[in-house]
Amino acid sequence: MNDDISIIWGRVEQLFKHKYQTMYWIEVYNDRFDDTYNFFFYAKEKFGRQRSIPLHTVKDYHLEHLEGIIDELKKRTQLTIKFGGFDKLYWPKSQKLIQRKASEVE
């Protein structure tokens, strides 16, 4: 897990520019076909295009592992973290629903 966190966090630090009137967030997608979790960094300037930049693919396909990564990311950043492909799944430790509503892609 530490390797995944260091890779994701290192790339987020490089991409996060603190630009005026720019929204930033992280999205995590559950790839059920490849049994991986994919992390993306999004940036959207006012009146500009939305950019999606791949951060990392986590190959340890266990929700316990992903929950640890998300908890650590929440400690390090205040960026919004959105989820896709986690319909009707709950976090193992906190027993909270992961994704409240279906994403636009689903």
The per-residue pLDDT for range 49-75, each reduced to its tens digit, is 999 999 999 999 999 999 999 999 999
Given this model, what pLDDT does residue 105 score? Answer: 55
Given this model, what pLDDT does residue 25 score? Answer: 94
User: Residue range 96-103: average pLDDT?
Assistant: 80
In the chain, beta strands by DSSP E? 22-31, 36-45, 50-58, 80-84
Residue with tokens 């559950």: 30
Q: At 57, phi and psi to the nearest 5?
A: -115, 120
**pTM, whole model, 2 decimals?**
0.88
The per-residue pLDDT for range 69-88, each reduced to its tens digit, is 999 999 999 999 999 999 88
Strand order in the sheet with 50-58: 50-58, 36-45, 22-31, 80-84
When the pLDDT of each residue in the chain is averaged and rounded to a whole number, the result is: 89
